[in-house]
Structure 1
Amino acid sequence: MIKKMIAVFLSLVAIPASAAIVVTGTRFVYPSDDKEISVNIENSGEKTALSQVWLTTGFSEKRSGKEVTKADIEDTPFVVLPPLFKIKPGNVQTVRILYTGEPLPADRETIFTLNILDVPPKSKAVENNLQISVLSKFKLFYRPSAIAGDYSSAADKTDWTITKQGADIWLSAKNNSAFYITPDKAKVIVNQQEYDVQPGLAMMAPFGGTTQAKINRLTAVPSSAVIKFSYVNDSGGSSDAEKTVN
């Protein structure tokens, strides 16, 4: 029965969040010196939940079950224990993630996707109705101990520029650190006047990743400006940083 459900998992279209399954944390860091990390998954619903957990390389927001293949699940240097389980209402399942030792870059972070699929219990009363699986995705960062400095100082190693593209003024950022950095909100201050930056700043890969977004109301490229921005920290919250553009 469980094997049959695994096959169904890979063909269902999943949606972003689950009302029953609650995951402790929004992103996860795997320090290279650790033997394993754990993720706690709670069933806050009223019925037994069936979940599958696996890792894939890189990170994608796509949520179609069609992107998942057997090769995707196996092609990571991690083992997930247990990969498939039932959780009774009110119970918590601890999932262990173990690094198997295959070589990964030692000078920068490597990103993976932690996939958690929740399949609703089947009711005899609605046997002919469509069941919707719920796929949630979380970033997992493998962080080598050889990286100099720590993540809290990574924002200091970003470069920001302001350019004109057509009729619009854009703010661009470049990540020179060994960490993945995800800017959240940003604003530009020119001559004590604040200009909001439109949503759109995205995660930047280590050593050269870039992102950009349009600046509201600014009509010309200033000779100097202060960029105040926030970025996602290890706990999933926001930390503030400031850079000067000359």
Structure 2
Amino acid sequence: MPRLNMFGCLVVFLLSISNVAQAGVVVGATRVIYDGKKKEASISVTNADKSTPFLIQSWFEVDEGVHRETLPFIITPPLFRLDVGRENILRIVRVGNQLPKDREAVYWLNIKSIPATEESTLNKLQISVKTRIKLFYRPVGLPGNANEAHKLLVFSKNNGRLIATNPTPYHISFFKINIGSEEIKDVGMVEPFSTREWAIPDGSAGDISWQSINDYGGITDMVKQ
């Protein structure tokens, strides 16, 4: 096959993968906040595909790849069929008392969409997609405001490391951290009453500035120290 034709086939193939990945199941939020005052939390799952039904499987993990049989939450329904154009609500219910009262707890919610298959003589590319989002359990009566907690962070430097200290009972998920014009990579999240540190990029100097992700998945205003 001429090289140009091979290139054209490759482009078509990659575009087809992109279309499959973009269509299909849409999860209604980038995070779930479980308010300790309420009996349950929920999140929507919608099949935006125009032709394919999906099997939806959902489960919790403590950390990536770490699943325990006994967790303080259950999700219902854990497995169901989602037809074309339909929406379903996943309900999350607390079933255990082994949760802290003075700070947030975090768990991972996994939602896996498996496309239906049909008997066919044609070869088809089937892609199962797993969406992984954080569930934050927020006990009743925590002081302060979760969406303002990032403003209370304290940064320091020690032996080539940048250290963020979180004096609040809330998890703070970073969107960006800069030292002057240099951006810190893999910023992640700092847990309540904890610290997190990163290597300082060579040659970086100036103010430390940062943005975090709020309860709604939005980006906060920049804060400087």
- Same fold at TM > 0.5: yes
Match of 2:115 in 1: 120
Describe the superposition over 1:105-131 as per-residue Cα deviations: whole angstroms up to 9, x where unpaired: 000110011110111111212698785
Maintained 8 Å contact 1:175/1:205: yes
Partners of 1:156 and 1:115 in 2: CA distance: 30
Match of 1:138 in 2: 133
Using the aligned pairs only, state the percent identity.
32
Maintained 8 Å contact 1:204/1:211: no
Match of 1:231 in 2: 212
State yes or no: 1:19 paired with 2:23: yes
Indicate the larger mover: 131-140 or 31-40. Answer: 131-140
State yes or no: 1:184 paired with 2:175: yes
Match of 1:52 in 2: 57
The TM-score normalised by the length of structure 1 is 0.74
| 1:116/1:161 CA distance change after superposition, 3 Å | same
- How far the C-alpha of 1:234 sits from its partner, in A, is 0.5
Maintained 8 Å contact 2:71/2:96: no
The answer for unaligned runs of 5 or more in structure 2 is: 1-20
CA RMSD of aligned residues (A): 2.4
- How far the C-alpha of 1:199 sits from its partner, in A, is 2.0
Match of 1:4 in 2: none
Match of 2:5 in 1: none
Describe the superposition over 1:1-58 as per-residue Cα deviations: whole angstroms up to 9, x where unpaired: xxxxxxxxxxxxxxxx66311001101100111111111000011211111111122x
The TM-score normalised by the length of structure 2 is 0.81
Describe the superposition over 1:200-221 as per-residue Cα deviations: whole angstroms up to 9, x where unpaired: 21211111131324346326xx
| 1:126/1:50 CA distance change after superposition, 3 Å | farther
Partners of 2:122 and 2:36 in 1: CA distance: 46
- Which AA in structure 2 matches 1:135? K
Partners of 2:221 and 2:157 in 1: CA distance: 20
Pick from 98, 101, 104 the counterpart of residue 103 of structure 1.
98
Match of 1:11 in 2: none
Any idea what SS the aligned residue of 1:171 has? strand
- Which AA in structure 2 matches 1:236? G
- Which AA in structure 1 matches 2:99? L
| 1:90/1:129 CA distance change after superposition, 3 Å | closer
The answer for unaligned runs of 5 or more in structure 1 is: 1-16, 61-66, 189-193, 220-224
Maintained 8 Å contact 1:55/1:115: yes
Partners of 1:236 and 1:124 in 2: CA distance: 40
- Which AA in structure 2 matches 1:47? T
- Number of residues of Structure 1 aligned to a counterpart in Structure 2: 204
Any idea what SS the aligned residue of 2:151 has? helix
Any idea what SS the aligned residue of 1:125 has? coil
Partners of 1:98 and 1:115 in 2: CA distance: 15
- Which AA in structure 1 matches 2:43? V
- Which AA in structure 1 matches 2:117? K
